[in-house]
Amino acid sequence: MKVFKSVSGARFLVALAIPVSMAFAADSASAQSRNRDRRDSDERILDWQGQVDREIRIQITRNRASVIEVGSNERARRRVNVREAIPNRPGTLRVEVLQGRGRVDVIQQPSARNGYTAVIRLRDPDGGAARYRIAAFWESDRRFDRRRR
C-alpha cells in the first residue's frame, strides 16, 4: 500500500475513487431499474410458500393451483395465493425464487395444447426439508398483443 506524503496525493486518490464508485452505483441502479421494469410489466399470477423435502410440483390451471407431492417425505404445510388466472393467450410463465436452496423450474409452459396449464417443479437435493417462497409471473407474448390491436 502506498502512503502519500502530501495531501495533494491523497486528494487525487479520493478524486479518482469518487467517479469510479459512482459508475458502479449507476450500473447497479440501472440493473435494478431493468429488473423492476420487467417485474412491473409482467402480471403476478401466483405466490407460494412452504416446505420442500425432495420434490413437489405446482400445477396451475386458470385460477386454481394444486400441489403434486413427488417425494415421499413432503409436508402438507403450504400456502398458495393465486392472484390472477393464467390468460388464454400466448405467453410465458416465469418464476422468481424469493427463498429456497434448491432448483425451481417451469417444466410446462401454458399453451392451447395443454389447456393453458403450467407446471412448476421445486427440487430440494439437500437432506432435510427447506423453506421455499416463490412468485410466478405471466409475460404476455407481445407479438400476439400487437395482432389483437
Tell me the DSSP string of 2-61.
PPPSSHHHHHHHHHHHHHHHHHHHHHHHHHHHHHHHHHHHSEEEEEEEEEESSEEEEEEE
> What confidence score (pLDDT) does residue 37 get?
45
Spell out the residues 6+ positions from residue 84 whose beta carbon is closer than 8 angstroms to its own. 43, 44, 45, 63, 138
Residue type (1 letter), 28: S
The percent of residues above 70 in pLDDT, for the chain, comes to 65
Q: Can you give the residue ranges of every domain in the chain?
A: 1-41, 44-148
Q: Give the mean pLDDT of 44-70.
A: 93
> What confidence score (pLDDT) does residue 142 get?
72
How does pLDDT run across 65-120, given as a tens digit for each residue?
999 988 777 766 788 999 999 999 999 999 999 999 999 999 999 999 999 999 99
C-alpha cell at 107: 417444466
Single out the residue of 50, 42, 51, 45 nearest to residue 65, CA to CA.
45
> What confidence score (pLDDT) does residue 31 get?
47
pLDDT of 57 > 80? The answer is: yes
